[in-house]
Amino acid sequence: FFHGFDAEEDLVGHLASMSTNERIKAIQKMPETMRKKREIRKKVLKEIKKSSTQHSCCTQCLQGAAVSFRRFGNTLSEYFHQLWVWHKTLKIIGAEFGTSVLSYFVFLKWLLNFNIFSFLINFSFITIPQFLAAEPNNLSFTGLELFTGAGYLQQTVLYYGFYTNATISKMENGPPYNMQLAYIFTVGIYFVICFLILLFSMAKSFSRNFNPQAISVNASKLLCTWDFNITNEKAVKLKQKNLRTQIKEGLAEVNKEVLNFSAMERVFRIAVHLFAWVASLGTAAAACTGVYFLSINNLQLFMKGHRNDLESQTAMLVLPVIVSLLNTLIPFLFSWLGHVERFQTPGHHIYVTITRNIILKMSVVGILCYYWLNIVAGSESQCWETLVGQDIYRLVLVDFIFCLLGSFFGEFLRRIIGTTVCKSLGRPEFDIGRNVLDLIYAQTLTWIGILFSPLLPGVQMIAFFIVFFVKKVSLMRNCQPPCKVWRTAQMMTSFIFLLFCPSFLGVLSVVGVTVWRLQPSEGCGPFRGLSSMYAAVTEWIQILESYTVSKWVVWIYHNLITNELFFFILSSFVLIVTYLYWQIIQGRKSMTELLRKQINN
């Protein structure tokens, strides 16, 4: 008896010396009854209270302050979480319209955060130092420059041509700030960070959503999903809607019907698909041809000049208006073709529409990049980089305006017609494919324009913020939930993949050609007078070779950065690791299938 009593005292003393989390876990793991565990916990708390009274007043004050500070931090975190504008909005959209529509808004929020990060980097390391060396702008501001990007804005930090090529030093003993190196290293490191973020985001989204042969609807969805901490009546109803939508999506996935078509019906469906693809590719080719000839004509008009300022400003907007008009109207044709094809699942319809839109928009962007890098860069303009920056600024702005108009004409008027004029049409469904490709197209333009307009992510950030709430209001007021409920486990992963390839990889090739191949303008920008933008790095390395302290930087440059063998070895290592992970995934799939068969047996 006394031995057991001493052992329990030792146990209580040992538990009292633990932290709170460790103590809770240790008591939970004890092979005792709940009654015995409660008794031990009471004794431990008494022991802790007894020992705490022996501490000094100063120690108790410090402990009380730490607890109060922790509670204040938790309260502040919850407060900011509630202030985050789209927290509740995303919950409502997911409950009302399902995960397919929700994935668009999650992707839009992700891009908005991405552009906030981009703007902060460029503003901190490129724009703020330029403010210290900037000369006053003597041009008058009329307000029309906000749409054209020319005039007053041409002599501001918005464009490449305004930045100096001098070394900035405002303090006598302070270190100088090399604007050339700051510009190229900020843009270069930014694209490296973008590459890593996209890569890890794809991997994270894939690992979170990929579940081979998962059974979506089971007892756990009904019995283990409810959060009993919810007490607010509105939150309870929202959670009920969300759970009901998830169950519908799971049931739709399990109860998919496989339609059996006759030979004649299959031939007819194949013919319809071929016709739709021929029409889509033909329309995209015609649009690219029109954009190419219009862009050449646009440059000729711009170089000749105009009789008055209003005519000049109007001519500048012709190219972006036509491009945005094509990018807005042709996707409606693609959506109509998708309805004509009558896919078996909404997922097939969305992915085919996205593929056609990505071919159209990336082809148009490719034609514009060829025009900028070969025709504008070879023109007689004093600062061709600023011309390219202005073109991209106008494209981004006009595309944003057409995006808002698309919500009005494509959803609001369609709802009016479907509920008053032709009631058989009903309310429209939210076109996920078209809207997602609008976001990818806008982000692609922003990435291309960063080199020529460092503050363009700030413009896109404001545009995405407005688009989020306009689309949210239009969705709630004008659209109906999808007629066919379906689960979209990999939708977000697909969006990020499309943003990575072909969008981001295409942008890297454009930036690479601009930095390594093209000669900068002689009279503007931080790289004036150099054979290429990359020549600034080469000259900097030559300067470092004369300093003994910087020999390691020179060694890294010559043996790693400019060494093809290093990148070959690095690529081989990445491919080997990728192959090993692929084999691990295949092994896990086989093991999962084997265990599933054993469970069935």
What are the C-alpha distances in Å from 100 to residues 107, 428, 484? 11, 15, 11
Over residues 271-281, the mean pLDDT reads: 90
Q: Which of 342, 362, 363 is nearest to 352 (CA)?
A: 342
Question: Is residue 101 predicted with pLDDT exceeding 80?
Answer: yes
Average pLDDT over residues 340-345: 77
Domain boundary among 346, 381, 416: 381
User: What is the domain extent for residue 328?
Assistant: 263-381
**pLDDT tens-place string over residues 529-551:** 889 999 999 888 888 888 888 88
Alpha-carbon distance of 183 to 169, in angstroms, equals 16
Asked whether residue 199 is domain-assigned, the answer is no
Instruction: Kindly report the average pLDDT of the chain as a whole number.
Output: 81
Which of 324, 359, 381 terminates a domain? The answer is 381
- Residue percentage of the chain with pLDDT more than 70: 81
| Omega before 502 within 30 of 0, i.e. cis | yes
pLDDT at 138 over 80: no
With beta carbons less than 8 A apart as the criterion, state whether 500 and 451 touch.
Answer: no
| Residue keyed to tokens 């390395």 | 541
At 544 the pLDDT is 86
Lowest mean pLDDT across 54-68, 143-157, 234-248, 362-376? 54-68
Judge whether 254 and 216 are in contact, CB under 8 Å: yes
Look at residues 106, 220, 149, 176 and name the one whose alpha carbon lies nearest to residue 392: 149
Yes or no: say if 438 and 484 are a contact pair by the CB < 8 Å rule.
no
Structure tokens at 589: 């799939």
Give the CA distances from residue 563 to residues 127, 196, 545, in Å, rounded to whole numbers and listed in that order: 33, 22, 18
**In this predicted structure, what is the pLDDT of residue 464?**
93
pLDDT at 441: 92
The percentage of residues in the chain with a pLDDT greater than 90, rounded to a whole number, is: 23
Q: Say how many C-beta atoms besides its own lie within 10 A of residue 16's C-beta.
A: 18
For residue 373, tell me if it sits in a domain.
Answer: yes
87-122 and 456-478 helices, crossing angle to 10°: 170
- Helix intervals (H) in 210-232: 219-223
pLDDT at 238 over 60: yes
pLDDT for residue 401: 92
How many angstroms separate the first and last alpha carbons of the chain? 51
Give the pLDDT score at 511. Answer: 93
Q: What angle in degrees, to the nearest 10, is found between the helix axes of 384-407 and 432-449?
A: 160
Q: Decide: helix, strand or coil at residue 173.
A: coil
- pLDDT of 80 higher than 70: no
Average pLDDT for residues 93-118, to the nearest whole number?
86
What confidence category does residue 215 fall into, taking pLDDT thresholds of 50, 70 and 90? very low
Tokens at residue 274, please?
């071929």
Q: For 241-262, write each residue's pLDDT tens digit.
A: 777 776 776 666 666 666 677 7
Query: Residue 52's pLDDT is what?
Result: 60
**pLDDT for position 2:** 39
**Residue 425: pLDDT above 90?**
no
pLDDT of residue 61: 65
Split at pLDDT 50, 70, 90, the class of 307 is very low
- The reply to whether 573 falls in a domain is no
**Does any domain span residue 332?**
yes
**Which of 347, 320, 566, 310 minimizes the C-alpha distance to 441?**
320
Q: Residue 460 has what pLDDT?
A: 94
- Is 419 within a domain? no
Q: Do the domain assignments include residue 187?
A: no
| pLDDT tens string 6-16 | 677 778 877 87
* Tally of structural domains, the chain: 2
- Report d(CA 296, CA 425) in Å as an integer: 43
453 pLDDT band (50/70/90 cuts)? very high
Angle at alpha carbon of residue 210, lines to 208 and 215, rounded to 5°: 110
Give the separation between CA 508 and CA 450, rounded to whole angstroms: 12
Q: CB burial class (10 A; 0-12, 13-18, 19+) of residue 418? A: middle
Of 301, 313, 357, nearest to 331 (Cα)? 357
Residue 3: pLDDT band with limits 50, 70, 90: very low
Q: Return the pLDDT at 1.
A: 42
Output phi, psi for 177, to 5 deg. -115, 110
Q: Per-residue pLDDT tens for 350-361?
A: 788 888 888 999
From 381, 412, 438, the end of a domain falls on 381
**How far is Cα 180 from Cα 167, in angstroms, rounded to an integer?**
8
Q: What is the DSSP letter of 258?
A: -
Q: What is the pLDDT of residues 380-422, one digit of tens each?
A: 778 899 889 999 999 999 999 998 888 877 788 878 887 888 7
Backbone angles phi, psi at 180, to 5 degrees: -60, -50
Flag whether 288 is in a domain: yes
Q: How far apart are CA 406 and CA 228, in angstroms?
A: 42
Residue 486 pLDDT more than 70?
A: no
pLDDT at 323: 92
| Dihedral, CA of residue 202, residue 203, residue 209 and residue 210, to nearest 10 | 120
Is 344 among the domain residues? yes
The beta strands (E) that lie in 54-113 are given as: none
